[in-house]
Every structure is written in structure tokens, then in C-alpha cells.
Amino acid sequence: MTLQQRFTEIREGFTSTFWIANTLELFERLAFYATKAVLVFYLAKKVGLNEEAGTLTGWFTTLIFSLPIIAGVFVDRYGFKKTLMTCFAIFAVGYFSIGVAGLEWGASITQVIGVRNYMIIAIVITAIGGSLIKPCIVGTVAKTSTAEARPLGFSIYYTLVNTGGALGPIVALTIRTDWGVEYVLIMSAITSFFLFIGTFLFYKEIDNSDEKKRTLVKVFQDMVLVFKNFRFISLLFIFGIFWLLFWQIFYLLPLYATDVLQFTEFEKLESLDALAVIILTVPMGALLKNVKPIYPLVAGFMIATVAWFIVGAMGTVLFVVVGVLLFGLADATQTPRFYDYVSSLAPKHQVGTFMGFAFLPVALGSLPAGYLSDWLRLNFMSTNPALMWYILTGFGVAGTILLMVHHSVYSRPSRI
């Protein structure tokens, strides 16, 4: 395909709403990852919840990535635009509520029910809003792309997600340095408010009448169906280990960088994974497109495992950079083939239903990652910080072995 043909495909393959939705997604992800970049640091250093900082952040991420299963019902019932506006409105209120706990005048509010209880409520509210974004944007990308342009459309969407993931921490660093960490949350709230206005003014509702409407009863039935399939659900739990390792970039690394390495600009380190994914996903996808999916998936696990071993063994900022970039390589190695492999394990006539749950490893890994990060910090940060990363390496080794065993037991040679 020539360059001119590619530009023609881009121009004719998408409606204006596609570009509006992806622009909204870019700034939403920037606000989200700015908050993610500093949330553990903020809870531990500013709010005073040091012993639970990782746990609370883990719950926040788990809810955001698990509730979309239910959130799709609201898109079907109320439409894309209303659901998207609701998402941004709740995000604005939620981010601001979290930020209030760090403001001087916010103490009079948080002390009414206690800082911990207040923060749990604020985090849950924010996560509920955040759970609405994925079915809205992903659904919009699918609905506003031609069949031929849809793969490119999802590539654009994924690139913008990671662009927000790379820029968010850098924006957070600037605001934290100039204003204070609590104002990162305020920035995310203001951004969400303007996204609410932008959606109201520019986003055109999409006709969804041709889609089969989902109900909460149907969602529950699908969940029962998926969770009864041990082969499928066990694979999702195994990949939850990969995400348990990934989330340590945001849960463990910030306080390791500041307290052990004395490197205060930890947000720069957090942005490297997304940067590596942006640069490497397309080349790795092209390089591995004819390789059986299981090999890139195992390779991704192995690279992620080596990444945290290097961080622990070397114990310097330079090798944290190396480790996080390696983790980005692991992500880029797995991503192009993960859904291909997962779909091969779904029953032939239920692939769509099962693939709707394929993002669950992100949530399944986040919750234990939060608890684990707190346990590692409180027990080893001041005495033997390298051991934290060696323990994570052990989880990576276990995940790699479990994936190979799972494939050996359940593989279908004709497909994978």
C-alpha cells in the first residue's frame, strides 16, 4: 500500500466522530495516568495512608477495569453520548474529591468520617465513572470505522491510549514540582470537566439500534458461562500474574525511587513503559505475525521477569530505566498476539462472549499487586530493597511456567 493510499484509507475510513472520540480518549488517558503516576506517592506521603497506599490504589484500578463488564449495559440503554458525559462528570467529581484530602482546607471535610473512609468513598466514586469509558470509546471506534479501516482504527486508538500513558506522568511531574502533588488530582478533575463540555458540544450520538441489547441478567449469565470454563478462566488468572508485575511500575516503583534511590522525578520512570509500547508494538507485531501465539506470550513473560530481576540486582536509576523499557518490550511482544491466543481457547460459537472478558487479567492482577506492593515496602524497603524485586521475579518465573503448562495441557495444535 502506497503512502497516498494509506492517507485515503484514513480519510475515508472514519467519520468525524471517530476522531472526536479518540481526541477525548487521549486527554482522558492523560488525566488518568497522571493520577495513576502519583496516587501511591500522594496517599503515602501527603494523605498519611502509607501502610495502605498500594492496596487502595490496587482497588481503584481493579474496579475501573472490572466494572466495564456491567457498564456496557448502560451504553446500550442510554446511548454512547449520555454515558460518556456521565463518565466525565463522575471523573471530575471523583478526582477533585481525592485531591481535596491533600488540600489544607480539606482536612475539615475528611475528618468528619476519617481520612481512610473518605478516601475509600472518593476512590470508589472515581472508579465507577472510569469504568464507563472503555465500552463508550471502544464501541465508538467500532461503529465509526468502515470494516476495512477498523483494524487501523483500533491501532490508532491503542496508540493514543499509550500516548496518554506516556504524557500523563510527565504532566504530573510538572504539576507536582510547581504546585504540589495534590494539584495533579485537581488538574485531572479540570481536564475531565472540559471533556464533559467537549462531549456535549462535539460528540454526535451513534445509532446503536442494530445491536442486541444487553441486560444485567444477560451479563450475569455470561459471567457464569465464562467462569465455569476452567480452561479459559485459568488462562486469564495466569495472565493476571503478568499484570501483577506490570502494576508495580505505579505501585512499588515511585516510593522505591524516592526512598531508596533518592530519585525524586519518579514520574519519568513510569512513562517509559508506555513510550516503549508506542515505539515497539508495530515492529514486534510485524516481526512475530507468523509465529505461533504461545511463543510471543511466553517470551513476554520471560522478558518481564528479567526486567524486575535487573532492577533488583543492579539497584541504580539507570537500570530501573533499563528494566522499565524491557517491561515495555514485554508488553509490546505480547499485545499483538494475546487476543489471538485467548480467542483460540473460547468455545467455537461463544467467542464473542468470552472475548468480552479478555481484559479481566488487568483487573485480576491489580488487586493482589496493591496488597503485595504494601507488604514488600513495609517489610523490605528499608532493610533489603533488592529482595522486593527478586520476589517479583519469582512471580514472573511462576507465571511463565504456568503458561507453558497450561498450553501443554489445553493447546489445540490445529489453531495454536
Q: Which residues of 26-50 are buried (b: 16+ CB within 10 A; e: fewer)?
A: bbbbbbbbbbbbbbbbbbbbbbebe
**Per the structure block, which three cell numbers stand in for 145?**
470505522
Domain 215-416, CATH class in plain words: mainly alpha
In whole angstroms, give the CA distance from residue 342 to residue 238.
12
Residue 10 is predicted with a pLDDT of 59
pLDDT value of residue 7: 57
Superfamily of domain 13-213 in CATH is MFS general substrate transporter like domains (1.20.1250.20)
User: Measured in whole angstroms, how far is the alpha carbon of residue 213 from the centre of its chain?
Assistant: 27
d(CA 109, CA 194): 26
By C-alpha distance, which of 235, 213, 191 is closest to 340? 235
C-alpha cell of residue 197: 463540555
The C-alpha cell that represents 359 in the structure block: 481484559
Domain with CATH 1.20.1250.20 in the chain: 13-213, 215-416
User: How far is residue 95's CA from residue 216's CA, in Å, rounded to a whole number?
Assistant: 28
Q: Whole-model pTM?
A: 0.90
Give CA separation, 208 vs 78, 192, 211, 408, in Å. 10, 25, 6, 42
DSSP 3-state of 40: helix
Query: What's residue 146's pLDDT?
Result: 82
Res 13: pLDDT = 76
Q: Which residues contact 5 (CB under 8 A, 6 or more apart)?
A: none
Distance CA 178, CA 28 (A): 22
Name the DSSP letter for residue 409. H
Looking at residue 209, its pLDDT comes to 63
Decide: 373 and 56 in contact? Cβ < 8 Å. Answer: no
Query: Could you write out the DSSP letters of every residue in 147-160?
Result: TTTHHHHHHHHHHH
Q: How far is the C-alpha of 229 from the C-alpha of 238, rounded, in Å?
A: 14
Residue 114 confidence (pLDDT):
94
Counting Cβ atoms within 10 Å, is residue 389 exposed (0-12), middle (13-18) or buried (19+)?
A: buried
Going 305 to 309 to 315 to 317, the CA torsion angle's sign is negative
For the chain, 416 residues long, give each residue's pLDDT as a single digit of tens.
Answer: 565 555 565 566 788 889 999 999 999 999 999 999 999 999 999 999 999 999 999 999 999 988 877 777 777 778 889 999 999 999 999 999 999 999 989 988 998 999 999 999 999 999 988 888 888 888 888 888 887 777 778 778 888 888 999 999 999 999 999 999 999 999 999 999 999 999 999 998 887 666 666 677 877 887 788 888 888 899 999 999 999 999 999 999 999 999 999 999 999 999 999 999 989 987 887 888 788 888 999 999 999 999 999 999 999 999 999 999 999 999 999 877 787 777 777 776 666 677 777 788 999 999 999 999 999 999 999 999 999 999 999 999 999 999 999 989 877 544 44
Q: What is the secondary structure of 45-68 as a DSSP string?
A: IIIS-GGGHHHHHHHHHHHHHHTH
In angstroms, the CA 72 to CA 22 distance is 18
- Distance between CA 205 and CA 331 in Å, rounded? 34
